Structure 1
Amino acid sequence: MKAFAFIAVAATLFAIAAPASAQFAKAEDAVKYRQNALFVMGQHFGRLGAMANGKVPFDAKVAADNAELVATMAKLPWAAFGPGTDMDGNTKAKPVIWTEQAKFKQHSDKLVEESTKLAAATKTGNLASLKTAFAATADTCKVCHDAFRTK
């Protein structure tokens, strides 16, 4: 019985501490993480763009697979824009991200929303649906980049 109680307490403490341990040990680790997440998302988004723009033939399965990855990756980088990560010289993030965090969060939430719609649109197997959803997602990216990313 004592062993069960110990395990239960340990599991509870681990669950409470997990969010804290999920933080990055160093600011440069957070910067690398978000840059890599955004890079991977951009690679898969670019494949969708090539189909939407007629540069490569439309393949419904490839589109759906890439859109699903974009939707997943769109959820990842935002936790890595924490305090102290604005001081890293290897970032294209504008300082306004940390002074207008609510606005930045609105943009990141919008990307998650639009990329989810993109993934759903590609599952229809319809190129026109891909084009419409791709354009909306690309516009969301552009608006955020214009406001929060240096060239």
Structure 2
Amino acid sequence: MKTLASFVLAAAAVAASAPASAQFAKPEDAIKYRQSALFVMAQHFGRVGAMANGRTPYDAKVAQENADIVAEMAKLPWAAFGPGTDKAAKTGAKPEIWTEQAKFKEHSDKLIAETTKLAAAAKMGNVDALKAAFGPTAASCKACHDNFRTQ
């Protein structure tokens, strides 16, 4: 049994370390993946934002759970902006994603950094810390949308 578990764990590690673009059979699959990851991230970010902006009562546990999800989801969509995904379907992605890849990566790295700070602030259990981290995280989202999204 231990041998089987070791084999499964090793296979999972190899699969996880494979290039992300190899995980998508078709460009359309990559587009669905990135859109789904961004959608889920936005849903949980909205819950944190509602608390940070006083639209819903602050609940430290809920804030932390949602901020943790946001931080993890922020790592996922970027590999799905690979070759061929710029023309495979109509999306809100601007061509600059593929022509200004270094700038796009800066924005994705900034979002990952800010969402990590948001999750750390949420762990403090303090609404003021959450508010302080929410603003820069939202600004990071907006900056990327302003530069790389048509909608």
- The TM-score normalised by the length of structure 2 is 0.87
Residues 22-33 of structure 1: pairs in structure 2 closer than 5 A: 22-33=22-33
Cα distance 1:63–1:81, how it changes in 2: closer, same or farther (>3 A)?
same
Equivalent residue number for residue 146 of structure 1: 146
Q: Once superposed, what is the RMSD of the aligned Cα atoms?
A: 2.1
Cα distance 1:42–1:96, how it changes in 2: closer, same or farther (>3 A)?
same
Equivalent residue number for residue 19 of structure 1: 18
Equivalent residue number for residue 4 of structure 1: none
Q: Percent identity?
A: 69
CA distance in 2, matches of 1:48, 1:118: 9
Q: What amino acid maps onto 1:44 in structure 2? A: H
Residues 81-96 of structure 1: pairs in structure 2 closer than 5 A: 81-96=81-96
- The TM-score normalised by the length of structure 1 is 0.87
Q: What amino acid maps onto 1:73 in structure 2? A: M
Equivalent residue number for residue 47 of structure 1: 47
Matched, 1:126 2:126: yes
CA distance in 1, matches of 2:82, 2:114: 23
Deviation at 1:18, TM superposition (A): 5.5
Cα distance 1:127–1:102, how it changes in 2: closer, same or farther (>3 A)?
same
What CA deviation, in whole Å up to 9, does each residue of 1:19-54 have, x standing for no partner? Answer: 157431100000000000000000000000100111
Q: What amino acid maps onto 1:19 in structure 2? A: A
Cα distance 1:118–1:18, how it changes in 2: closer, same or farther (>3 A)?
closer
2:129 is paired with a residue whose SS is helix
CA distance in 1, matches of 2:23, 2:57: 41
Q: What amino acid maps onto 1:30 in structure 2? A: A
Gaps of 5+ in 2: 1-9
Q: How many residues align?
A: 141
Equivalent residue number for residue 69 of structure 2: 69
Q: What amino acid maps onto 2:75 in structure 1? A: K
CA distance in 2, matches of 1:79, 1:16: 15
